Amino acid sequence: EITNEALIPRPFVAIALGDESNKRSTAGAASSYHGVEKNDLSVVLVDGALKTNMEGKAWVVEEMNKIETRNLIQKRAGELVPPSPAFGMVAEGLFVALSENNVYKFPDANLAAMSWRVTRSMLIEPRHIIEKMQQMRRGGATLRSLECLQAYLRHPDWPALYSEARNSDVVLHLFAYYVEQYVACEIACRAGGGVPLQALTKSSMRGIQTVVVVKDTAESPEEADLLVSGGWKMG
């Protein structure tokens, strides 16, 4: 507070608090359904890359909520061996990411068969995968877990974006894309200093002079009133 008072001119800071899933409340074009145009995010905003990564993770969750996608995932759970080395590697990488545990090491080809017996159990109930994805705390990944996941992304069996393997397998692409976006988001978050140790609340924002609430013009009057009374949500 003393430092803030001593600064001339006084700093003006804009804080935008939005939905963690970065999802709009109104339907629109496919490129803007989870926020705004991706090119605008990366060009206009300093943290545009991070928001794009969050948008990618939200898209995966949205796709996995579709019944046809869940059926495909459950079908994979019934297979005794992974359909391809790439799928086994991606499923293992997703398991490591969602577990948020530092005990896992770099991928080992000698343990591929054993790891599939563990990871395929994750595919039995896709709802649990979705719930875990939604519970992932941004900025919560440790340096060790990121190094482990980056080793998965560099592995020869990890399928590249737009590769034939990913174009022909929806589940493979969704799992791989989530891990890639998760790693990129966590790296960008660490590079930017991480997230606040304490969530911003009315009591912890005493040094802020003005709070401007931005709402979606397509929201109902009830939702608009809720935003004004709450004061901390942005449409």
**Could you give the C-alpha distances from 219 to 24, 37, 164, in angstroms and in order?**
10, 20, 41
Percent share of the chain, pLDDT over 70: 60
- Phi and psi at residue 71, to the nearest 5°: -65, -40
- The predicted structure's pLDDT at residue 153: 97
Whole-number Å distance between alpha carbons of 201 and 52: 25
Domain boundaries, the chain: 2-197
AA letter at 137: R
Q: Which residue has the higher pLDDT, 196 or 114?
A: 114
Of the candidate ranges 85-89, 141-145, 191-195, the one whose mean pLDDT is the lowest = 191-195
Listed in sequence order, the residues at least 6 apart from 227 whose beta carbon sits closer than 8 Å to its beta carbon are 213, 215, 219, 233, 235
Q: Is 53 in contact with 188 (CB distance < 8 Å)?
A: yes
pTM tops 0.85: no
Q: What pLDDT, on the 0 to 100 scale, is given for residue 206?
A: 59
pLDDT, residue 55, reads 85
Residues paired with residue 130 on neighbouring β-strands, in sequence order: none
pLDDT at 104: 80
pLDDT at residue 158 greater than cutoff 60: yes
Is 207:4 a contact under the CB 8 Å cutoff? Answer: yes
Least confident of 49-53, 193-197, 198-202: 198-202
**What does the buried/exposed string (b/e) look like for 186-211 if buried means 16 or more CB atoms within 10 Å of the residue's CB?**
bbbbeeeeeeeeeeeeeeeeeeeeee
* Higher local confidence (pLDDT), 67 or 139: 67
The answer, yes or no, to whether the previous bond of 9 is cis (omega within 30 of 0) is: yes
What average pLDDT does the structure give for the chain? 76
Collapsing DSSP states into helix, strand and coil, what is residue 234? strand
Is residue 43 predicted with pLDDT exceeding 80? no
Query: Over the stretch 27-38, which tens digit does the pLDDT of each residue have?
Result: 444 444 444 566
Mean pLDDT value of segment 213-232: 46
